[in-house]
Structure 1
Amino acid sequence: MGELRRRLGLGDAVVVGLGAMVGAGIFVALGPAARAAGAWLLAALGVAAVVAYCNATSSARLAARYPASGGTYVYGRERLGPFWGYLAGWSFVVGKTASCAAMALTVGLYVWPEHATVVAVAAVVVLTAVNYGGVRKSAWLSRVLVAVVLAVLAGVVVAGLGGGAVARIADGGHGGVLGVAQAAGLLFFAFAGYARIATLGEEVADPARTIPRAVPLALGIALVVYALVAVAALAALGPDGLARSAAPLSDAVRAAGAAWLDPAVRVGAACAALGSLLALVLGVSRTVLAMARDRHLPTPLAAVHPRFGVPHRAEVVVGVVVAAVVAVADVRAAIGFSSFGVLVYYAIANASAWTLPGASRVVSGLGLVGCLGLAGTLPWQSVAGGAGVLAVGIAVYAARRR
């Protein structure tokens, strides 16, 4: 079956994480989060960042100790037992497959709205081909996409803050503590990309040193970017206007008198969705590889290409499944569902980190409580759908055990 090759340095790992975090989430998640938290949106962003920091710290420690593909699937299996590893892998693969489809459809909606599905399927095919060619090619494309997105977001920040309406940030009502928690759960969707660094642990050079540095670096950069963009959007639209907006950043630049930036924002959104999709396919295929090695998925998916050093069968299968989902379903409402699955995934990561010798149990304990708390405050449809998917996974596991 073979082993993956360690080709990613510190810069590559940080860019892969940023490509997943500074993605389409910032272009779409601010509106739903503002509807939940109102004028307390920035507080919700802070709560999401604290939980993300705890998760990132736990994931980095675990990845340095277990530098293999699969992320929390591997950590849960090694620290808590096979069932918990399986549950983490199931949550990740199902939730992130929906996220892949949502990101692909976002590309289509921004590039060619009248034929969004066709563009989305084409994007999946192209990025699957890039991933098939080797992880270094994927990291190079991530650099390009991240650079374009950061440039566009910088323009949004300058336009939003240049309007001189910073006082508008606190105008309007707020959703209370429950609203802040729900908004934090929705915003967490955008922070979850640092897991891609840990999931690619088998392809990172000197993982014991590189991963603990790359994860907080990527998370810190993403937090600064998100905070600046949120302040700019609030300054341009106010909490109530942001809550009503379906395309928050496009509306923000128009409200700030910089309508000429709107085409660039749309290009940035498409590039952000492509970057997220690229990183998501990388992460899901590596988790599929790890689960196939343990026979939780068909063992042929554990094959590694002898020339390119990638799990080529897993990548192709993930690409085909995502393209099929995009072709037959509307997955634009997948943020809450994906957040539920990812929060369960990180709850298991924090529980695994709790068992490490010499670990900071304050950080892992806060992360565990935070993940479970945010998952429980998501919209009930997301909680019900996520719980149903987990139940199916548990039933499959029990049937295989018998």
Structure 2
Amino acid sequence: MTIPTLQQAQNLILAHIQPGAGEIVPLDQAMGRIAATAIRARLAVPSFPQSCRDGYALRAEDTQAAGAGPSASNSGPGRPQKPAAAVRLQVRGEIAAGRTRPATGLRAGQAYRIMTGGMLPPGADSVIAFEEVSREAADHIMLTVPCRPGAHIRPVGTDLRQNQIIVPPGRPVCPEHLPLLATAGVGELAVYRRPRVGLLCTGNELLDDIEGNPPPGSLISGNRYLLAGLIRRYGGEPVDLGTVRDDVDAIAAILAAEAPGGFNALISTGGMGPGKYDLVSRALAKLEAKLLYEELRLRPGKATMAAVLGKTLFFGLPGPPPAVHLLFYLLVAPALRRAQGYRHPRPVTVQARLTDPLPLRRGDFLQLKGSRLDAEAGTLLVRLTRPDEAINAIILVPPNRRQLKKGELVRVQPLAAGLPGLGL
């Protein structure tokens, strides 16, 4: 079997996982979920003609004589100017926001006092602001300017038309969608199920008890917590299958028992060394799994594998947590995104400028470096992470380089959950 590149490995993985079944969830649980179908407005927004100002709702045709001044023949030097014509309208009542409009529509010469957000009464086609009229009496107003039809009115469907798509299929429900969905009367929506991912850590040296003191030669398993956090970050539901000793039969037994359990994916860490330590590969061979690859042309990741076990996608990752961290983002995360219905599950690649030189060990493979990516004055800048920092991107170092220079442009894959300020 030829050793695939990173892109070829991603192609193999994505070819063997499909979006899961859909489910209906209430709106308050929809944040971040992926739309299984187009989510449409049940109601138009607004669903009634609405006033945009505090003022008076009226018929524009009743105001056209307002403001008419003297004709040219009646004006001239030395002649007194006649005041602009005024229109007098009767105020029928008041319409506050949230009140149903009156059953009786406007007749000629009538108006309703109306508040912002109020429903226009039948027959009204214009709104004039309070400051543009004068009150002649408690039930009459005077206008000296004409009104145009549609002034200060939000027609039905201004924000959303009935049946308009709010969230396209394959897109995540974002905070900005929530008020639109609520006002459009969408209380439930169809989203893809979260993928269930089983995780298994292998190693005689690993202990599960985080409160005890490990004896010499042993250590507390950290990958189980790392993987659980990464799976949740990418929308999955982790299921901890525990820690198993370095034994081919024991590994094969737990994989055989769990593969039919409704998992979208299974992940193991450790047991990926050469020769007698190649335990996971031998366990999969016993189970007659379909092997996709058993090493990759990258570091870390040369000792990694993927297979299909029954109907479940399987990832065999190395033991060191830094390697697990980087490989999860590039191999497992795209599979989880595809399982949730993302239309574009692959990582995005951008170019960024190195802020510090990066010395390297020369190698024939692509190298992965955890890094920090930031934006400054419209430029993307990247550097290696410090010990107290979380990575938010991965530098893709091309083969056969001994050093990357300060200021050099490099290829970087931002981690989708780590760059809220960069729009990536």
TM-score range, shorter chain: under 0.3
Higher relative contact order structure (alpha carbons within 8 Å, sequence separation ≥ 6): 1
Q: Give TM-score, length-normalised by structure 1.
A: 0.22
Structure with higher Rg: it is 2
Q: Which has the higher strand share?
A: 2
Q: Which has the higher helix share?
A: 1
Q: Give TM-score, length-normalised by structure 2.
A: 0.21
